[in-house]
Amino acid sequence: MKYICEVCGWEYDEDQGYPEGGIAPGTKWENLPADFECPLCMVRKELFYKSGE
């Protein structure tokens, strides 16, 4: 599943994770830290939406 930042369009792909940010591949969205922020524009997790793909 992918989640997209409403502000800048950065995508979090659960299959890929975000290794640069210390998040392992396969990490589910609900298991991300509560303080997770978009690495590009720094908005909070609440401003992401689930991709329809």
What is residue 53's predicted lDDT score, i.e. its pLDDT? 63
CA atoms 11, 26, 49, 37: torsion sign: negative
CATH topology of domain 2-36: Rubrerythrin, domain 2 (2.20.28)
pLDDT at 33 over 90: yes
pLDDT digits (tens, 9 = 90+) for 1-29: 999 999 999 999 999 999 999 999 999 99
Separation CA 53–CA 22 (nearest Å): 25
The pLDDT confidence band at residue 52, using thresholds 50, 70 and 90, is confident
DSSP notation for 1-53: -EEEETTT--EEETTT-BGGGTB-TT--GGGS-TT-B-TTT--BGGGEEE---
What is residue 16's predicted lDDT score, i.e. its pLDDT? 98
